[in-house]
């Protein structure tokens, strides 16, 4: 498998207030070219729910695009550690999202999730903020 076979996914979720108006953003690239982007308003929820929702939507979109191998890059250290089995998911509200993300992860031939600094996640962050700015009209 070459590097071009792996799709790089950047995800971000945020809320203004915790909980508060929330949005998600994701960018899927393959071979350095954009494949898809996501910007979606979630309504009122928490930051961590938004982070997991961004991951789930990006994985679903990747499956739709027939992508077999992914490397997810996110600035949510908590989600990375939970997805990699380093931390348990203690929050009851996150457990169903975590289980859905794990089930989606298992549909890929190769799945890697890594933590990146916020500066390396600018486009996904921009899309999440755009969704929050537009509000219920976003989609």
pLDDT at residue 5, as a whole number:
83
pLDDT at residue 135, as a whole number:
87
Structure tokens at 6: 């792996």
Structural domains for the chain: 3-137 (3.30.420.10)
pLDDT at residue 137, as a whole number:
57
Divide the 139 residues of the chain into consecutive groups of 10 and give the mean pLDDT of each group: 78 96 98 96 97 98 97 98 98 97 98 97 97 77
pLDDT at residue 138, as a whole number:
41
CA distance 30 to 28: 7
Structure tokens at 52: 């997991």
pLDDT at residue 4, as a whole number:
61
pLDDT at residue 139, as a whole number:
47
Q: Strands 20-30 and 6-15, how do they pair?
A: antiparallel
CA distance 113 to 55: 10
């Amino acid at each position: 498998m070459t590097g071009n076979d792996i799709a790089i996914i950047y995800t971000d979720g945020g809320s203004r207030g915790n909980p508060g108006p929330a949005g998600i953003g994701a960018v899927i690239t393959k071979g350095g070219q954009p494949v898809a982007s996501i910007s979606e308003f979630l309504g009122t929820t928490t930051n961590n729910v938004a982070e997991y929702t961004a991951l789930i939507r990006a994985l679903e979109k990747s499956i739709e695009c027939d992508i077999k191998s992914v490397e997810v890059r996110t600035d949510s250290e908590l989600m990375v550690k939970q997805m990699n089995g380093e931390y348990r998911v203690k929050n009851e509200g996150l457990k169903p999202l975590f289980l859905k993300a794990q089930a989606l992860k298992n549909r890929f031939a190769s799945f890697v999730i890594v933590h990146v600094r916020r500066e390396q996640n600018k486009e996904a962050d921009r899309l999440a903020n755009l969704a929050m700015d537009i509000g219920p009209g976003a989609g």
